[in-house]
Structure 1
Amino acid sequence: MTKHTRIDVAEFATRRETLLAQMPENSVALIPAAKELTRSRDTEYLFCQDKDFYYLSGFHEPDALLVLVKNFGDESILFCRDKDPHQEVWHGRRVGPDAAQAEFGFDLTYTLDELEQVLPMYINGKDTLMFAQGANKEFDELVFACLNILRGGAKQGLTAPSTIVDIRDLIHEMRLIKSPAEIAIMREANVISGNAHKRAMRASKQGVFEYQLEAEILHEFAFNGARSAAYGTIVGGGENATILHYTDNEEVLMDGELVLIDAGAELAGYAADITRTFPVNGKFTKLQAKVYNLVLDAQIAAFNTIKPGSNFAIANQAANEVLTKGLYELGILSGDLDELIADKACKQYFIHGLGHWLGLDVHDVGDYQVDHDRNQLRAFEPGMVLTIEPGLYFDSEADVDEELQGVGIRIEDNILVTESGFENLTINAPKSIKEIENAMRSPKKK
């Protein structure tokens, strides 16, 4: 286990400066942190910071508020919890406003106790107020309470902004292009996640429960510095693999079945998102191998379209053509092949999208520029990270060979768009049939 890459404080400050430069003159932006969520009575879920707030601040504590002021001089202000020895004994250390200003590079800091008194003064006299209205009901109420104070204070010279703008569009465009430090973290998250998938393959055998493979994966994550999974781990044996977001993970794995694992680590806030499908007993049947290789060929065809200026629609077309032709050759689809390809007939069994943006969120933010035919036309640019994840799913009622009924196969990698094409970040998770079967013959890690 090594010390992992982290984002430098200066990069968070640069992001704030970049956002301020795009804000209209005489405006103020409000970006709140996440709140802790109660799990049961007096215990909380493991805290997960609001991603937009984290992207701009690097600050990990709940309940904080980032205020960006665009006026004659730009300012970044943080409201956060005060130091409190009694609370820190029970719940852990707090940064406090003084250390937050010094360590995170904010121009000014206040305690949360000062929020209701001070915040209206930062909004007062601004032409434009920018925040994510509707994202957080409690925060909306705070903002509109401030606006009511200003609107009722005309005699005291107070004025409320005349325009409210959603700040998310600007932040999400910034988040879509990853910096070198972000890319380095995502590479590391992929290596940890790939090793976890290998570990699960080695642990697989008839009679093992799905949750036991999940435990192998989560152990590998945590032991290597990624304390949390980026999303609920999917371990679907047999027909459970045809349920796209299956997370019960409670059934026993059976000889002759395939098992689909969709799992990725979260490292320093950034997600990996990897799917592998493999035989429980370590050996594909001939028919399983044919369908598996068809999905793999579709993924490779999509990869080959990825470069600056291309888009998801082009990648989708390439994958759909391969899948449709392959299903036709297997006798699963029938009719005129050209018509089947034009009609995207494979979508009967390829029931989800080809991929999505990836970053601080698993399904990361950023405009896909979807047209009226649901084509995603946003041009790829260097620094974008996305998933490519074709799949085929045959439930128990599907009109296919009995051996394929109840079979789901998905293969998912994480792809960085580069100046000349792409880089596959998912470099160490076995993917070809030979790699998978060799990995599953390897002795289990002690």
Structure 2
Amino acid sequence: MHKQNRKAFIEKMGNGGVAIFASAPPVKWNHDTEYLYRPDPNFYYLTGFEEPESICVIAPEHSKYQYILFVRPKDKQAEIWNGKRVGVKDARRRYGADKVYPIEKFSEKIGKYLQGAERLYYTLGSNEHVDTEILSLFTQSVRSRIRSGKGFDTLVDPSPILSELRLIKNETELQRIQMATEITGAGHAAAMKAVRPGMYEYDLEALVESTFRMNGAGGPAFPTIVASGDNATILHYTTNDRQIEDETLVLIDAGAEYGRYCGDVTRTFPANGTFTEAQREIYQLVLDAHYAIIDGIRPGVSIDEPHQKSIELLTESMLSLGLLKGKAEKLIEKEKYRQFYMYRIGHMLGL
């Protein structure tokens, strides 16, 4: 999968380019503990490599090596504390690199892969340490080009190319997203079956996330939202510490991550198993819009069309409920619906 991803990226690069991708840096929790590591999505998409302190170089026109990795070497003492490392030798065997170096050799070795390049592809802002090195290389190259006519003088962000490539999923990616979504559904179903007034939001959070893990997920794809009552009006509420009251609704926004690919589902349900009359009326209007929008999705439909349809349907619903007054067209033109619907209908899924 990753080899095909690199091939597709190289085709988009054109002649005269070299690309450098840095792994995401670890993030400290406190002085001797780090947050659970997650690789940079673009880096993972091209390499499949999941360790920090690593760099990928893609040099399509190099005479000998076109795919180069710089990785952490094996370190017996460090591995006692933080787990096994792939190391230089196994990185080449397992990840298909033409050449692998210890990460400490990057500054020394990178020059040979930049010779003859006209453009350097690199995304600034995701790894401060590597940014500094890249900007230094760029400055040196520009000066060299002024003096001798040799060296690259263009720095290009590869993110737009990769964003476009990542829109279209291959069969492996589709299988992982399918599995992530099925596991996500299992977590939601477990919460719906278990919920009772008097429980705490974090009880359901723990149940959802343990269901993810027991079904093979690596964990949650993002911080799980369990919002009861008016907490559900906070779009990215993650405190999850309120006691769930009778006759309130519970909103869960949660997704499992499987093979680094993400599920993402939001559902709302009554804490005691029965909607009040007002809750049912609003829920039904939203559900009707939900099915109408899904019915209109097919190849060739732009991502904005379902969203625009949702605005039209939900604005009509707000009028029927008395939340808005006036003509639907004028209300949409003035974005009055945003008092109650300030989000978009959906977003892409993947890494």
**Superposition pairs of residues 338-357 of structure 1, within 5 angstroms:** 339-340=330-331, 345-357=336-348
1:370-409 deviations in whole A, cap 9, x for unaligned?
xxxxxxxxxxxxxxxxxxxxxxxxxxxxxxxxxxxxxxxx
Matching residue's letter, 1:16? R
Indicate the SS of the match to 1:29.
strand
Q: C-alpha separation between the residues in 1 aligned to 2:74 and 2:107?
A: 19
Matched, 1:246 2:242: no
Q: 8 Å contact 2:218–2:259 — kept in the other structure? A: no
Which residue in the other structure is 1:50 paired with? 40
Q: C-alpha separation between the residues in 1 aligned to 2:135 and 2:192?
A: 53
Cα 1:336/1:126, change in 2 over 3 Å: closer
Matching residue's letter, 1:60? E
Q: TM-score, normalised by structure 2?
A: 0.94
Which residue in the other structure is 1:428 paired with? none
Which residue in the other structure is 1:165 paired with? 156
Q: 8 Å contact 1:119–1:146 — kept in the other structure? A: no
Indicate the SS of the match to 1:70.
coil
Give the total of aligned pairs.
350
* Fraction of identical pairs, as percent: 37
**Superposition pairs of residues 64-103 of structure 1, within 5 angstroms:** 64-71=54-61, 75-103=66-94
Structure 1 position 23, deviation (Å):
1.3
Structure 1 position 38, deviation (Å):
1.2
Range with bigger deviation, 113-122 or 47-56: 113-122
Structure 1: state its 5+ residue gaps: 1-10, 361-446
Matching residue's letter, 1:59? F
Q: 8 Å contact 1:265–1:273 — kept in the other structure? A: yes
Give the root-mean-square deviation of aligned CA atoms: 2.1
Matching residue's letter, 1:40? N
Structure 1 position 100, deviation (Å):
1.0
Cα 1:153/1:161, change in 2 over 3 Å: closer
Structure with bigger helix share is: 2
1:329-360 deviations in whole A, cap 9, x for unaligned?
22322233554456554332112111111110
Q: C-alpha separation between the residues in 2 aligned to 1:125 and 1:141?
A: 22
Indicate the SS of the match to 1:129.
strand
Q: 8 Å contact 2:180–2:262 — kept in the other structure? A: yes
Which residue in the other structure is 1:30 paired with? 20
**Superposition pairs of residues 274-353 of structure 1, within 5 angstroms:** 274-337=265-328, 339-340=330-331, 345-353=336-344
Matched, 1:16 2:6: yes
Q: 8 Å contact 2:253–2:265 — kept in the other structure? A: yes
Q: 8 Å contact 2:138–2:155 — kept in the other structure? A: no
Q: C-alpha separation between the residues in 1 aligned to 2:122 and 2:62?
A: 20
Q: 8 Å contact 2:200–2:241 — kept in the other structure? A: yes
Structure 1 position 264, deviation (Å):
0.5
1:140-168 deviations in whole A, cap 9, x for unaligned?
101122334556778x9894312111111
Q: C-alpha separation between the residues in 2 aligned to 1:246 and 1:234?
A: 6
Q: C-alpha separation between the residues in 1 aligned to 2:171 and 2:301?
A: 22
Higher RCO (CA < 8 A, seq sep 6+) = 1
Q: C-alpha separation between the residues in 2 aligned to 1:152 and 1:309?
A: 48
Structure 1 position 31, deviation (Å):
0.6
Q: 8 Å contact 1:256–1:280 — kept in the other structure? A: yes
Q: 8 Å contact 2:197–2:244 — kept in the other structure? A: yes
Q: C-alpha separation between the residues in 2 aligned to 1:87 and 1:157?
A: 45
Q: C-alpha separation between the residues in 2 aligned to 1:112 and 1:204?
A: 49
Matched, 1:59 2:49: yes
Q: 8 Å contact 1:23–1:70 — kept in the other structure? A: no
Q: C-alpha separation between the residues in 1 aligned to 2:348 and 2:226?
A: 22
Which residue in the other structure is 1:112 paired with? 103
Cα 1:317/1:147, change in 2 over 3 Å: closer
Question: Out of 205, 208, 213, which is 1:214 matched to?
Answer: 205
Q: C-alpha separation between the residues in 1 aligned to 2:304 and 2:135?
A: 41
Structure 2: state its 5+ residue gaps: none
Cα 1:127/1:336, change in 2 over 3 Å: closer
